[in-house]
């Protein structure tokens, strides 16, 4: 499907996703689990890309969802998700969110603190329901990734320190409206080596075995997400190697395995299409100014992340080194810094690669720009799956105050 065609019909900036790639990523991840007849649930971490059409595609592929808010629960249910394949993570669950999840009969809550456990008990008791829970355990493993996306070290806000986990499990057992069903961990994101996962698994496995010895019925072992993808020259383990390695080491536990992959499913299934507006050269530097930026793809500036840039219609010429920047009034508004860019002229289309995960889902209205449109491609067809915001969308819900005396 030529991106030129989509650009002409939908305009830029625009996120474009491939349904074939999304399906393939899901299948590749799942293949060793199916082949080894391992009981498992893949709960796609929808924070990576929670657009309804993407969720719908994954529901059809058989996916469940890892959610982190009532808003994500709403989206998952809208997309027809099976609530028995929904796990609910996140450190700040609100009473009304817990209530909604209990009403939906989700598979389990991944509890992130002793306080949260007490709150879930209270909410469940008031509703006369029993809440199935796993404790998210923090195994103190350095995932060797960007600090903003490292979650499994003791200094992080996530999970319950593995040294305290047993006591919290004991407390959970004593609560009338809580049922302990699992153990969960998630150590970070964009992890490009197998070792941190294996180190975390070794610790978690010991805990599961100890709990089982003490009579806890641990039915689910949730290994979280975090498998990295190639943005540039990274060589992360293949999804099949990753799942295979976990299957081999957990066979004796008699648990259903849960995985929460986000990026590895969606990241390399999408691009952000943009149009060159200006070429600018000052005495120090060259800039290519495009019609998208940190408001639509914040990863480069927030994590110093690399997103590859490709010309949609390559020109003759060696290209040049420049910053690829957006229109936002911040020096941090860049998509690529000191990058060797392809030869471009005003009006050319560029594709920001690997933008399917944590792209649109982190987009904002900053500087009062509309958020981009989203398009899904299937074979030789494409469909608009989200309209570009209108100016009316941008101000929807805003009011002028009516104060006495004005």
**Catalytic residue annotation:** 329
Chain positions 345 to 364 lying near ligand LLP, rule: CB under 6 A, are 358
The reply on whether position 226 binds ligand LLP by CB under 6 A is: yes
The CA distance from 178 to 174, in Å, is 8
Residue 190 or 292 having the CB closest to ligand LLP: 190
Give the number of residues in contact with ligand LLP, rule: CB under 6 A: 21
Residue 262 or 342 having the CB closest to ligand LLP: 262
> Shortest gap between Cβ of 135 and ligand LLP (angstroms)?
13
Cβ-contact 192, 235 below 8 angstroms: yes
Q: Looking at 57-65, 185-193, 203-211, 391-399, which segment touches ligand LLP (CB under 6 A)?
A: 185-193
Q: Looking at 41-49, 69-77, 127-135, 211-219, which segment touches ligand LLP (CB under 6 A)?
A: 41-49
> Shortest gap between Cβ of 117 and ligand LLP (angstroms)?
17
Residue 63 or 89 having the CB closest to ligand LLP: 89
Residue 239 or 342 having the CB closest to ligand LLP: 239
Chain positions 75 to 94 lying near ligand LLP, rule: CB under 6 A, are 89
Chain positions 92 to 121 lying near ligand LLP, rule: CB under 6 A, are none
The CA distance from 110 to 31, in Å, is 25
Q: Looking at 182-190, 198-206, 338-346, 372-380, which segment touches ligand LLP (CB under 6 A)?
A: 182-190
Which run of H or E residues covers position 196? Answer: helix 195-213
The CA distance from 101 to 261, in Å, is 21
DSSP string, 91-111: TT--HHHHHHHHHHT-SEEEE
The reply on whether position 189 binds ligand LLP by CB under 6 A is: yes
Q: What does the block give as tokens for 164?
A: 């305290």
Residue 189 or 268 having the CB closest to ligand LLP: 189
- Among 32, 44, 28, 55, smallest CA distance to 376 is for 55
Q: What does the block give as tokens for 161?
A: 């320190």
Q: Looking at 40-48, 167-175, 208-216, 286-294, which segment touches ligand LLP (CB under 6 A)?
A: 40-48
The reply on whether position 66 binds ligand LLP by CB under 6 A is: yes
The reply on whether position 18 binds ligand LLP by CB under 6 A is: no
The CA distance from 186 to 333, in Å, is 30
Residue spans of beta strands (DSSP E) within 269-371:
270-281, 286-290, 309-311, 320-325, 334-341, 349-352
The reply on whether position 296 binds ligand LLP by CB under 6 A is: no
Cβ-contact 66, 43 below 8 angstroms: yes
Which run of H or E residues covers position 240? Answer: helix 239-250
Paired residues of 110 in beta bridges: 134
Which positions ≥6 away from 134 have C-beta within 8 Å? 87, 108, 109, 110, 111, 180, 181, 182, 183, 184, 220, 222
Per-residue mark of binding to ligand LLP, 133-162 (x: CB under 6 A): ----------------x-------------
The reply on whether position 261 binds ligand LLP by CB under 6 A is: yes
> Shortest gap between Cβ of 376 and ligand LLP (angstroms)?
20
Residues near ligand LLP, by CB under 6 A: 45, 47-48, 66, 89, 149, 186, 189-190, 224-227, 260-264, 299, 303, 358
């Amino acid at each position: 499907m030529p991106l030129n065609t989509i650009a002409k019909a939908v305009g830029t900036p625009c996120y474009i996703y491939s349904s074939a790639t999304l399906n393939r990523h899901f299948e590749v991840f799942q293949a060793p689990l199916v082949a080894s007849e391992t009981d498992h649930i893949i709960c796609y971490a929808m924070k990576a890309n929670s657009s309804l059409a993407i969720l719908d595609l994954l529901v059809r592929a058989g996916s469940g969802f890892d959610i982190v808010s009532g808003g994500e629960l709403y989206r998952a249910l809208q997309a027809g998700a099976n609530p028995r394949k929904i796990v609910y993570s996140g450190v700040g669950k609100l009473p009304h969110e817990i209530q909604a999840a209990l009403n939906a009969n989700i598979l389990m809550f991944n509890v992130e603190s002793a306080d949260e456990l007490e709150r879930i008990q209270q909410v469940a008791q008031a509703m006369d329901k029993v809440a199935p829970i796993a404790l998210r355990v923090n195994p103190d493993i350095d995932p060797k990734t960007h600090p903003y996306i490292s979650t499994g070290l003791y200094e992080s806000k996530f999970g319950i320190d593995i040294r305290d986990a047993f006591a919290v499990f004991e407390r959970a057992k004593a609560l009338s409206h809580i049922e302990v069903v699992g153990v969960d961990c998630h150590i970070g994101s964009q992890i490009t080596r197998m070792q941190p996962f294996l180190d975390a698994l070794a610790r978690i496995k010991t805990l599961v075995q100890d709990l089982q010895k003490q009579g806890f019925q641990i039915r689910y072992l949730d290994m979280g997400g975090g498998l990295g993808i190639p943005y540039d020259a990274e060589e992360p383990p293949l999804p099949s190697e990753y799942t295979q390695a976990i299957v081999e080491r957990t066979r004796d536990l008699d648990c259903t395995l849960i995985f929460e992959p986000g990026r590895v499913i969606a990241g390399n299934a999408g691009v952000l299409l943009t149009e060159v507006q200006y070429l600018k050269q000052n005495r120090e530097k060259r800039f290519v100014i495009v019609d998208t930026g940190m408001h639509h793809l914040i990863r480069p500036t927030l994590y110093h992340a690399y997103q590859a840039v490709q010309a949609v219609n390559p020109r003759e010429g060696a290209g040049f080194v420049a910053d690829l920047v957006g229109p936002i009034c911040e020096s941090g508004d860049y998509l690529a810094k000191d990058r060797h860019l392809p030869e471009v002229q005003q009006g050319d289309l560029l594709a920001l690669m690997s933008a399917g995960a944590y792209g649109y889902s982190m987009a904002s209205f900053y500087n009062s720009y509309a958020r981009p449109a989203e398009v899904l491609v299937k074979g030789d067809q494409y469909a608009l799956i989200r309209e570009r915001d209108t100016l009316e969308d941008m101000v929807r819900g805003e009011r002028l105050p009516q104060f006495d005396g004005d």
